[in-house]
Structure 1
């Protein structure tokens, strides 16, 4: 029988942890979502402000999480923080949402994005081809390739954290350098007339159709709704920054390095995202951004910057970006299920570590659900729908800082939230505004996520009831 390791092995230094934060954030979103943002807000100024607001929120949350990560430097991250601040039901609802959609569907979406852009170079992997037609479900080469990538990365991560960290660090460095190169060449190819046109009346806010037709200007409250709707894309692109907290048990000197990696990683990615979008406004007109084919703004920009070879260049960049992103998501996600299992709220076998000191069973269960999402064809919609729930749990977690300071005033806090209480309060207010505006102006992005979360309540009591009977 295979010997089981009983504890995680700290193998990740500060650089590795920072690369996990940045690498998990940078996937396919930065290359695509700006089209929808421009359609919602209609101007360069507001497009950049959407990214700046999202970046500020992400950085504020990351700086606040530093206090929690230093207090509870163990596997599970946000799941553990919610349990300590509230109760096991709240933490289970987070873990349930995380397992059913948040992490697994994100892995699937990033995997399919990898396959879609592989098809630019190798058309045999096109999502438009049908390999198997089952009537209600069709299977394309893109879906099969995404499954293969997810299975391959899962296998590598079962071999130990060193295998995962080598891929993560290497690919993150490469994609940061690649994005840096795209930004530099983009500004080099900047068109003065395009820049001037885009930055005239830059704070007008209105709908912009893909055809370039402008809608009427919003009044104040609808304008806030448009900004919230636009932020769905930027928040999705900036999410997963907290993945390093899930793998805290494998970070060297976690009380110091997790907080630092959160701050450094989110800051670097925010600068890259804002600068990339400023570059877009120098090479593409607003109607070209809003009407980019299948929202592939980066592809349209690369055609201007690099000419005919632009498609291949951007396809390779996105393949590198999504491959590294998925490695980080896969590596960190399984640690949440491990923590749930140790609490008796997940498959019992997920609470064990394999001979490489990683939760192998949890990795494979996550792999199975993510692969199923690859075949759903609806993963993109579900990711948008879950944005409301993701921000909601971030708000709850940051509120947990105030609760824990009251409940445990004498607890060891090697790192305290920067800007407390102002910065956490600002995040909470901005997050609440985002969620409330989505409820009003884009209800389809809220109710499905809420329903998935609420379903977790009877599941929790069912599991607890079975556990009580077995005792």
Structure 2
């Protein structure tokens, strides 16, 4: 008897799909990146506005994807949309970028964040504990723990979607309730409010990148007013963190073949998941502004602004509270990333554009080989140590493909006008066009603000061109 399955099993409900959207979005970013955003834009108004712009872009893109997901409710999601709107070359470039940087680097960064905060509870697994010095690189206990986490979640997901679903729903509900509780306690329990003082800064944009002391800690230098092109560049640099923190909402489209009634539930889960997370992110930043002075947000130790806020709320116990919250958050986040990512490689393999074995399902109806090859690449990226650089590359490439995909809605409206559309993009054509303009401006500004790693990201994508033709495929 064959041990392989020929198709996915639709077993995920609307609730499960929504938890995959929300759980994939919430990792460690909301606990950290507001420090970097504040250093770039320097006022309470701009801190909140950066998160509002990101939230608007995320929800707009998500509800636009709803139309595509209803048209093509198949495993592979965004890869399928790009192939149908453009051709197999564009789809392959996305799939290659997804495999080499987007998904695997995100998995690595989230896993290392899990390790860093586990070290608050178990110092032996910290980054300072070097367990191997290979000369050209040092391997820390934190990196090893990150790899162990990725391997464990990969193994769990090879046993079927049911186990991954239970982990995802349990951890996502837990972290949503924990974040909500932190926000409420922040407004109710803190002894001194900094709300009024912080809002005196209004929308007077300032910037201070600071300097590092002899311990490697950032210290403030002098805030300088910024405007014009410098402000646009600062906003783009600030949005790297907020976009990374709000990314991976599209993971649910990759597992369309395993969702019940996908024409309805994928689009609805995209809207509900992104809306829930956007509301939590914005209110969390309002809580930071209530609990901490702006200077403390900008220069929280190691950018761990949530730890600083929790200490102001709960005293010394705050560090442990946030460490546990981030461990739960990143564990659940990575489960969703690992579960969904392998479905893209599965679909590529069935198009003859990836390793043939990744196009097979095991007896549990999951692409086991695709899961393990993703695990290997993500584990290697855990050893790189350049997570900030990876974040810039990922944000740049991700947004480019989001833009191309949403442009694909316009193309498919003309190309296939008679195709059934159970769900149509909200506010078409105005809302998708606003997203395209904002996202394009972000990409241009990011190249201007961080050219090295933005262009490295583009370079990695373009490496896919010879790989596509090596696979013996011609551009359609």
Interval of TM-score (by shorter of Structure 1 and Structure 2): over 0.9
1:218 offset after TM fit, Å? 1.4
**Which of 417, 436, 445 matches 1:437?**
445
Which secondary structure state, in structure 1, belongs to the residue aligned with residue 12 of structure 2? coil
> In the alignment, which residue of structure 1 is the partner of 2:183?
183
- Quote the Cα distance in structure 2 between the aligned partners of 1:402 and 1:386: 25
> In the alignment, which residue of structure 1 is the partner of 2:14?
14
> In the alignment, which residue of structure 1 is the partner of 2:283?
275
- Quote the Cα distance in structure 1 between the aligned partners of 2:230 and 2:177: 39
Which secondary structure state, in structure 2, belongs to the residue aligned with residue 362 of structure 1? helix
Give the TM-score taking structure 2 as reference length.
0.96
**Which of 449, 455, 461 matches 1:453?**
461
Asked if structure 1 preserves the Cα contact closer than 8 Å seen for 2:193 and 2:292, the reply is no
Which secondary structure state, in structure 2, belongs to the residue aligned with residue 131 of structure 1? strand
Asked if structure 2 preserves the Cα contact closer than 8 Å seen for 1:386 and 1:445, the reply is no
Give the TM-score taking structure 1 as reference length.
0.97
Which secondary structure state, in structure 1, belongs to the residue aligned with residue 337 of structure 2? helix
1:192 offset after TM fit, Å? 5.2
- Quote the Cα distance in structure 2 between the aligned partners of 1:218 and 1:191: 33
Which secondary structure state, in structure 2, belongs to the residue aligned with residue 446 of structure 1? helix
Residues 2 and 313 of structure 1: CA distance in aligned 2, closer, same or farther (over 3 Å): farther
**Which of 387, 390, 400 matches 2:408?**
400
Asked whether 1:332 is paired with 2:334, we answer: no
1:37 offset after TM fit, Å? 0.1
- Quote the Cα distance in structure 2 between the aligned partners of 1:111 and 1:172: 16
Asked if structure 2 preserves the Cα contact closer than 8 Å seen for 1:102 and 1:383, the reply is no
> In the alignment, which residue of structure 2 is the partner of 1:86?
86
Which secondary structure state, in structure 1, belongs to the residue aligned with residue 224 of structure 2? strand
Asked whether 1:215 is paired with 2:238, we answer: no
1:445 offset after TM fit, Å? 3.7
> In the alignment, which residue of structure 2 is the partner of 1:422?
430
- Quote the Cα distance in structure 2 between the aligned partners of 1:465 and 1:84: 16
- Quote the Cα distance in structure 2 between the aligned partners of 1:85 and 1:370: 29
Pairing of 1:306-321 with structure 2 (within 5 A): 306-321=314-329
**Which of 234, 242, 251 matches 1:234?**
242
Asked whether 1:151 is paired with 2:151, we answer: yes
1:214 offset after TM fit, Å? 4.0
- Quote the Cα distance in structure 2 between the aligned partners of 1:379 and 1:50: 22
1:206 offset after TM fit, Å? 1.2
- Quote the Cα distance in structure 2 between the aligned partners of 1:212 and 1:363: 44
Asked whether 1:46 is paired with 2:54, we answer: no
**Which of 365, 369, 377 matches 1:361?**
369
> In the alignment, which residue of structure 2 is the partner of 1:469?
none
1:383 offset after TM fit, Å? 2.1
- Quote the Cα distance in structure 2 between the aligned partners of 1:422 and 1:185: 39
Q: Which runs of 5+ in 2 are unaligned?
A: 211-217
1:190 offset after TM fit, Å? 4.1
1:404 offset after TM fit, Å? 0.2
Q: Which runs of 5+ in 1 are unaligned?
A: 467-471
1:3 offset after TM fit, Å? 1.4
State how many pairs are aligned: 466
Asked if structure 2 preserves the Cα contact closer than 8 Å seen for 1:438 and 1:445, the reply is no
Asked if structure 2 preserves the Cα contact closer than 8 Å seen for 1:385 and 1:444, the reply is no
- Quote the Cα distance in structure 2 between the aligned partners of 1:229 and 1:465: 37
> In the alignment, which residue of structure 2 is the partner of 1:260?
268
